[in-house]
Amino acid sequence: MLQLSVLKEQTDRVLAGLAKRNFKTAEADVAAVLDLDQRRRALQTQHDTAQAEANELARQIGGLMKSGDKAGAETLKARTSELKTQIKTHADELAALEKQQTELLYKIPNVPHESVPAGRSAEDNEVVREGGTKPDLGPGAQPHWELIKKYDIIDFDLGIKITGAGFPVYKGQGARLQRALINFFLDQARDAGYVEVQPPILVNEASGYGTGQLPDKEGQMYHDKADNLYLIPTSEVPITNLYRDEIIAADKLPVRNTGYTPCFRREAGSWGADVRGLNRLHQFDKVEIVQITQPEHSYAAHEQMVAHVERLLQQLELPYRVLRLCGGDMGFTSALTYDLEVWSAAQGRWLEVSSVSNFETFQANRLKCRYRGEGGKTQLLHTLNGSALALPRIVAALLENNQTPEGINLPSVLHSYCGFTQIK
């Protein structure tokens, strides 16, 4: 959530950034927030004035009672009663204005970093760099949805039988590969200084609002109405919310956490070739990395996180590229996002496997996640997160890019984790 002080003091910058996002109601929404703030401050002044008068009258009433002037005291008590009614009315109106203002602020996305390119869709994203070599598979190469049938390692039909479309069953070498990747990613994160946590996969409403999934993506999350809990779309949500309403000591920064969880997304409206096989699922596994740090260090931390994901892809021997997302393709909460994609040789296209984002103070303002700076003053922190990595499309690329007539060769870094070198 944008800070009110930023909206007031940097209105032009906010509007220019929201225009880069193609956020159509920016001017109206910002104007409405500022108008509500003016009304709230004027009402607060009235409330404070009435409260001060009531306090002064209470002091005077005490003196009149001591002097025996009961008539004078009764006159002041009548005025005090009027003031109490006014104060109660003001308090109710202030609460209503603050609620209205907060709900409106929840609708406004983050302001993009100055380096974010203008654009409306994925076609306008900027390719920062590429790595690795695309394999030449030759004729007869099969997409992963055919390979998983051939080697009987993932069963979509069983998933449909048990749950529904988008909930695959991993079997045999497929299940072992899945577990191997999770352990490999966690070990690499640990070696890079991230502390592993195992968070809940159901979160409450406050957690959803804290990291910005609510109200923005409410329809995309699985919701248990009986207990008002949400299945997590990413472990970013519970891990970052560990620090909700916390003031973190400066010597404990930066916070670095990693965690593995299953993730759940309704993916309402998704269809077409892009969702075949493992390309898009309702349940999938992911290892996440999260950092919380002082504002002056967050963009260096962001680059470090991108480099960490790149190293994973290099060790998996997958051709990849790094994209800087344009304003129109960025997530609601992000100030700057790098996507990392791997080349799917059999499909002949790039598959997104990671998003690494800096949210600046946008999440921290909702979370009330702060630290004490110089002089003991509390300041908002910057939060960052990244997929390191999401498994489905990594598996898809590993299967497709490494297929041979004899079987699917696995990168050497996974041999000890899997206990085998080839799927056959």
Q: Does 355 carry a binding-site annotation?
A: yes
Closest C-alpha among 213, 359, 220 to residue 293: 359
Q: Is 383 marked as a binding-site residue?
A: no
Question: Of how many residues is the chain composed?
Answer: 424
11 is in an annotated binding site: no
- Is residue 288 annotated as involved in ligand binding? yes
DSSP, collapsed to helix, strand or coil, labels residue 48 as helix
Q: What are phi and psi of 261, to 5 degrees?
A: -150, 155
Residue tagged 């990392």 (tokens) = 340
Q: Judge whether 311 is annotated as a binding position.
A: no
**Residue 236 annotated as lining a ligand binding site:** no
Structural contact between residues 96 and 278, judged by C-beta atoms closer than 8 angstroms: no
Helix (H, G, I), strand (E, B) or coil at 318: coil
Peptide bond into 389 cis (omega under 30): yes
State the Cα torsion 331-337-338-343 to the nearest 10°: 0
Question: Residue 265, annotated ligand binder?
Answer: yes
Parallel, antiparallel, or unpaired: how do β-strands 195-196 and 255-264 relate?
A: parallel
DSSP designation for 272:
S
Q: Is 401 helix (H, G, I), strand (E, B) or coil?
A: helix
Residue 242 CA to residue 381 CA, distance in Å, equals 14
Distance, CA of 389 to CA of 285 (rounded, Å): 9
Write the single-letter amino acid at 228.
Answer: N
Among candidates 183, 126, 134, 125, which has minimal Cα distance to 397?
A: 134
In Å, how far from its chain's centre is CA 130?
26
Residue 385 in marked binding region:
yes
Candidates 339, 310, 318; CA nearest to 397 is 318
- Residues tagged in the binding site annotation for L-serine: 234, 265, 288, 385
Binding site: what residues are annotated? 234, 265-267, 288, 352-355, 385
Summarize the annotated binding site for ATP as residue ranges: 265-267, 352-355
